[in-house]
Amino acid sequence: MGEGKPPNVPTLHDELGKMMSVNAMRGYLARVPGSAHAPISNSELTEVLNWLLAEFNAETLPKNFKKLTVGEVTEARTQILANPNQYREDHWKAYEF
Ligand code: HEM
């Protein structure tokens, strides 16, 4: 589950944990259209994203990682990314799905 279908649908394993070492990428998780438009509440989305990170990315998360908060997810989610791949490339150079 969550392996995606590269190159169009990225995997949700390991990469996300690595991204969390870059501050601008925390909000990214809630700003991709799939997340932002998901028919779930802000607190549910926060839980889903924290679950994805804990379940599929535990080995790559930075040691000092702090869980996403409902506040930051709520805020980020209003700023839906029209071009997630561009944002990912601009803010997280190790672009590689
Ligand atoms: C709660 C629901 C969802 C969550 C939490 C979620 C989460 C994510 C995350 C974290 C990424 C970024 C992955 C990366 O850059 O490595 C992503 C990207 C992506 N997701 Fe989802 N997703 C959800 C629903 C969906 C749905 C319903 C679809 C398609 C029907 C979808 C299709 C995609 C695609 C195509 C990308 C690549 C970026 C883009 O082109 O938008 N996602 N998703």
Q: Domain extents for the chain?
A: 15-91
Class of residue 70 by CB neighbours under 10 A (exposed 0-12, middle 13-18, buried 19+): middle
Cα of 63 vs centre of ligand 1, distance in Å, is 25
Q: Which of 70, 37, 48 is nearest to 1 (CA)?
A: 48
State pTM to two decimals: 0.93
In ligand 1, the atom with minimum distance to the C-alpha of 16 is 16
Residue 96: its pLDDT value, please? 56
pLDDT at 2: 87
Q: Is the CB of 32 under 6 A from ligand 1?
A: yes
For residue 12, how far is its CA from the centre of ligand 1 (angstroms)? 9
> Over its length of 97 residues, how does the chain's per-residue pLDDT go in tens digits?
888 877 778 888 888 999 999 999 999 999 999 999 999 999 999 999 999 999 999 999 999 999 999 999 999 999 999 999 999 989 987 655 4
3-state helix, strand, coil in the chain (%, to 5): 50, 0, 50
